[in-house]
């Protein structure tokens, strides 16, 4: 009789445990009824109880008790910051976000080939960043110049300052520079150091968007430097004409523009310009450090996004005439007399 009572009692306890487990599991794992993502801010000093009350009042979780229990299982701590809670998130998932500090992130894309001025304009366009991009103090980020920034995709917390984003990209370029300096490799002659490498890479970057062409374009300019020829790179003239902005804003580059008096005008001056004209990616840097082995001295657009290369001026003139015909076909109303 006693054995039977113990068996019934054990089953009763087990049943209660199963029911309690089911209730806890339901409370922790039931999905939020919120159908769109919700921004939720945790301020420094906020307690678990205060966070639980606020998140319950917004009907984001099933109950504040369930949320507090989930937080305790997650380590009984919440980290400050702004969080983006996805639709349908459970109390368990939300508690995990708060405990790990998985705050809302912004994807920042800095394309290759932009100038510092263009990058600053780009960052101003990200409404979820804060602050300005200009400063005037001792910080290195306040004095960034073209060639100092590494174009890449960056993920930062919402509310990050624009200067901090710029500084992250600056530090990444510093890492790439220092890594190359530690190799103690010499760049291809007649280049003599990092500034020469990045300066030529910036011209290559602006000349072609095709990574498959970059090593060939780099070889053209290195061949011209070795022969003492002027580089005659249009992007350097555009840089001079636009006071370092690097974009003609739809205006054509005309023959008369090539006479501008500037150290960046490679039609008038031999050698490299004094500094980079854009911020470059790894493909352009690698192209300059490992240029193709060619004898090319000239190149011109082929009308299909690439270029035609030639070793002599006569062939170049023919390729250039072909390019002019393509432009006339695409723009019959334009006047190319000054081109």
Handedness of CA 204, 205, 206, 210 (dihedral sign): positive
d(CA 114, CA 278): 5
pLDDT at res. 332: 57
Instruction: Tell me which CATH homologous superfamily contains domain 23-100.
Output: Endolytic murein transglycosylase (3.30.1490.480)
Q: Which helix (H) or strand (E) holds 288?
A: helix 282-289
Which residues pair with residue 308 across a beta bridge? 300
CB count within 10 Å of CB 310 equals: 20
**Cβ–Cβ under 8 Å, residues 195 and 162:** no
d(CA 160, CA 293): 45
Cα dihedral angle (308, 312, 316, 318), rounded to 10 degrees?
A: -110
Question: What are the structural domain ranges in the chain?
Answer: 23-100, 105-183, 194-330
Structure tokens at 124: 């101003």
DSSP string, 9-78: HHHHHHHHHHHHHHHHHHHHHSBPS--S-EEEEE-TT--HHHHHHHHHHTT-SS-HHHHHHHHHHTTS--
Residue 12's Cα: distance from chain center in Å? 61
3-state secondary structure of 249: coil
pLDDT in tens, the chain (339 residues): 555 555 555 555 554 544 444 444 444 445 556 678 888 888 888 988 898 889 888 888 777 787 888 888 888 788 888 888 888 788 888 888 888 888 888 999 999 999 999 999 999 999 999 999 999 888 899 999 999 999 999 999 888 999 999 999 999 999 999 999 999 999 999 999 999 999 999 999 999 999 999 999 999 999 999 999 999 999 999 999 999 999 999 899 999 999 999 999 999 999 999 999 999 999 999 999 999 999 999 999 888 888 999 999 888 888 888 777 777 776 655 554 444
């Amino acid at each position: 009789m006693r054995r039977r009572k113990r068996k019934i009692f054990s089953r009763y306890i087990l049943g209660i445990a199963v029911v309690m487990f089911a209730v806890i599991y339901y409370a922790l794992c039931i999905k939020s009824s919120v159908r769109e993502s919700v921004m939720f801010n945790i301020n420094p000093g906020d307690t678990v109880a205060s966070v639980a009350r606020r998140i319950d009042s917004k009907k984001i979780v099933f109950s504040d008790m369930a949320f507090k229990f989930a937080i305790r299982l997650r380590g009984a701590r919440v980290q400050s910051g702004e969080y983006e809670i996805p639709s349908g998130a459970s109390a368990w998932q939300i508690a995990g976000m708060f405990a790990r500090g998985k705050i809302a992130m912004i994807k920042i894309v800095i394309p290759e080939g932009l100038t510092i001025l263009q990058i600053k304009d780009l960052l101003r366009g990200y409404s979820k960043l804060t602050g300005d991009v200009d400063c005037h103090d001792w910080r290195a980020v306040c004095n960034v110049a073209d060639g100092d920034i590494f174009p890449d995709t960056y993920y930062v917390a919402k509310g990050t300052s624009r200067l901090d984003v710029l500084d992250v990209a600056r530090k990444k370029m510093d890492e790439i520079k220092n890594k190359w300096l530690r190799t103690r490799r010499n760049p291809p002659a007649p280049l003599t150091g990092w500034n020469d490498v990045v300066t030529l890479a910036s011209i290559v970057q602006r000349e072609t968007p095709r990574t498959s062409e970059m090593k060939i374009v780099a070889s053209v300019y290195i061949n011209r430097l070795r022969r003492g020829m002027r580089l005659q790179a249009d992007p350097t003239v555009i840089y001079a004409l636009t006071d370092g902005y690097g974009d003609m804003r739809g205006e054509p580059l005309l023959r008369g523009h090539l006479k501008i008096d500037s150290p960046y005008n490679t039609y008038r001056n031999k050698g490299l310009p004094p500094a980079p004209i854009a911020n470059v990616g790894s493909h352009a840097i690698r192209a300059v450090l490992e240029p193709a082995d060619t004898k090319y001295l000239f190149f011109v657009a082929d009308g299909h996004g690439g270029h035609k290369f030639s070793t002599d001026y006569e062939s170049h003139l023919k390729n250039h005439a072909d390019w002019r015909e393509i432009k006339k076909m695409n723009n019959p109303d334009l006047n190319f007399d000054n081109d």
